[in-house]
């Protein structure tokens, strides 16, 4: 399932192409770049659209490399996006139902040991609402604690509806350092506490971004092109700052 390491030129080529595409179609704005660690980190980013990873990799520096935990796919040789990620070596996939998670976790540890970034959509799914952050899965906090690297909250705003020259903001939050000695098997309460801290940081980062109007024509179709809504269709935007099913 895991592809062998890819040469650096492939990663750089993908990065250049994505930077050209995203910055041509959108007005990509990066905030908080000075907060980004220079070495191995877990990047926990908010997730509204299938294109979010493209904006993340376009906004982050070319070095160190950025790899994405996922997607959850049974066959990475199918589909243009899957083949592109596999060719460039930017994905750490696992199979549906959690199969292959052990191998994926080991791959993440190897990448972090090499000084790379590993980016994870902490919510585990897309959501509607620019100021919404769903409760985070435990994966980002667990991997940061297990490897003893910073957990960096990164908010991606403006992708709820893509549109030509619309603003997309990638805002980097202050890194959260694991406290004390990092165990190989972090305690559940420690993972939950770090997850809650990361979510609180993300909520602050997205709080001021307005919900854009629905895109028309090409923008609307592009937005929903690969979106996979668990509800079967895009849900309504909840009240600002209120996540569906959460008490925040």
Note whether residue 14 is domain-resident: yes
248 CB-near residues (< 8 Å, 6+ apart): 203, 241, 242
What pLDDT score does 184 carry? 75
Note whether residue 243 is domain-resident: no
pLDDT-based confidence at residue 1 (cuts at 50, 70, 90): low
Note whether residue 219 is domain-resident: yes
pLDDT per residue over 153-192, tens digit each? 999 999 999 999 999 999 999 999 987 666 778 899 999 9
Query: Which of helix, strand or coil describes residue 210?
Result: coil
pLDDT-based confidence at residue 145 (cuts at 50, 70, 90): very high
Note whether residue 2 is domain-resident: no
CA distance 65 to 116: 5
29 CB-near residues (< 8 Å, 6+ apart): 167, 168, 169, 170
Helix or strand run (H / E) with residue 88: helix 80-88
Say whether the peptide bond before residue 219 is cis (omega within 30 degrees of 0): no
Span 43-62, average pLDDT: 95
Percent of the chain with pLDDT over 70: 86
- Domain hosting 123: range is 8-224
Span 192-221, average pLDDT: 95
What pLDDT score does 89 carry? 78
Say if residues 155 and 185 touch (Cβ distance below 8 Å).
no
Mean pLDDT, all residues of the chain: 88
Note whether residue 164 is domain-resident: yes
pLDDT per residue over 2-44, tens digit each? 556 788 889 999 999 999 999 999 999 999 999 999 999 999 9
Secondary structure (DSSP) of 24-76: HHSEEEEE-GGGS-SS-EEEEE--SSTTHHHHHHHHS-SSS-EEEEEEE-S-T
Note whether residue 237 is domain-resident: no
pLDDT-based confidence at residue 248 (cuts at 50, 70, 90): very low
Long-range CB contacts for residues 96-104, cutoff 8 Å, separation at least 24 = 96/72, 100/1, 100/2, 103/1, 103/2, 104/1, 104/2, 104/69
pLDDT greater than 60 at residue 96 = no
Residue 91, domain CATH = 3.40.1130.10
Q: How many distinct structural domains can be found in the chain?
A: 1
Span 50-58, average pLDDT: 95
pLDDT greater than 80 at residue 80 = no
What pLDDT score does 246 carry? 52
Note whether residue 114 is domain-resident: yes
Say if residues 115 and 101 touch (Cβ distance below 8 Å).
no
CA distance 205 to 215: 24
């Amino acid at each position: 399932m895991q592809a062998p390491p890819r040469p650096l030129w492939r990663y750089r080529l993908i990065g250049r192409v994505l930077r050209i595409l995203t910055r041509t179609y959108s007005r990509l704005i990066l905030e908080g770049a000075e907060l980004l660690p220079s070495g191995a980190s877990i990047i926990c980013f908010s997730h509204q659209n299938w294109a979010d990873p493209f904006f993340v990799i376009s906004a982050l520096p070319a070095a160190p490399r950025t790899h994405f935990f996922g997607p959850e796919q049974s066959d990475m040789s199918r589909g243009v996006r899957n083949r592109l990620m596999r060719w460039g070596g930017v994905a750490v996939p696992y199979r549906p139902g959690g199969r292959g998670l052990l191998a994926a976790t080991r791959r993440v540890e190897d990448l972090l040991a090499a000084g790379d970034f590993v980016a994870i959509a902490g919510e585990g799914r897309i959501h509607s609402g620019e100021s919404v952050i769903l409760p985070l899965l435990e994966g980002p906090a667990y991997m940061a604690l297990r490897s003893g690297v910073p957990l960096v909250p990164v908010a991606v705003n403006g992708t709820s509806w893509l549109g030509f020259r619309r603003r997309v903001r990638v805002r980097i939050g202050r890194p959260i350092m694991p406290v004390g000695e990092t165990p190989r098997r972090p305690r559940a309460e420690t993972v939950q506490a770090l997850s809650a801290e990361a979510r609180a940081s993300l909520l602050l980062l997205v709080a001021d971004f307005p919900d854009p109007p629905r895109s028309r024509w090409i923008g609307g179709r592009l937005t929903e092109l690969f979106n996979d809504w668990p509800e079967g269709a895009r849900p309504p935007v909840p009240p600002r700052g209120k996540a569906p099913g959460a008490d925040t």
